[in-house]
Amino acid sequence: MSNTQKVVRDTPLLEITLRKYEKPVNLTGRNLLKKLLFSVGLLQPGDSRDVIVDVLYVLLKARNTQNAQQNLLSSDDIVKQVIEYRKQENLQLKGIAASNIRRQIKRLRDLYLVEKITNNYRITELAKLHDTFEEKVEKFMLVSMMSRVKEYMRAVDSEFS
């Protein structure tokens, strides 16, 4: 008879990383987006593959178009535009596989910055990122997470008093 142990994985229901950096003065374009993505944990310091910056860039540019059809991009459209943008900026073509671009879109969706409509993507409700973050993350995710952490605090206080 073999000893098989069950491995219990602690999988969080929600997870978010927030970092505080200096104020965004003198940052523009890609560097500004990169610092935002560091701030919300979608990029890690030292990451060499930062294609998520370009995915967000492409979607933000599409948000500003007048034609409603052009606000929605398929993952193929996003891949093409990301490659074009990275070439234009003389960036290495790392992380541009369609499967990786889709994974980066999913990560932006998980933070509610991007939404899927049929098989296309856009910035959530074409709203300002600040408004979306405040409504979906600050007022929903963070409040829920803080409440649960406090429940654990009370349980620990009760257990160890």
What residues does each domain of the chain span? 29-125, 127-161
29-125 CATH choice from 1.20.1640.10, 3.40.640.10, 3.40.190.10, 1.10.10.10? 1.10.10.10
Query: What pLDDT band is residue 37 in, cutting at 50, 70 and 90?
Result: very high
Are 54 and 84 in contact by the 8 Å Cβ rule? The answer is: no
**Mean pLDDT score across all residues of the chain:** 92
**74 three-class SS:** strand
Query: What pLDDT band is residue 62 in, cutting at 50, 70 and 90?
Result: very high
Long-range CB pairs of 58-64, under 8 A, 24+ apart, other chains included = 58/82, 58/85, 59/108, 59/114, 59/121, 59/122, 59/123, 60/33, 60/123, 60/129, 62/122, 62/123, 63/122, 63/123, 63/126
What is the model's pLDDT at position 49? 85
- Taken in order 91, 21, 121, 60, is the CA torsion positive or negative? negative
85-134 residue pLDDT tens: 999 999 999 899 999 999 999 999 999 999 999 999 999 999 999 999 99
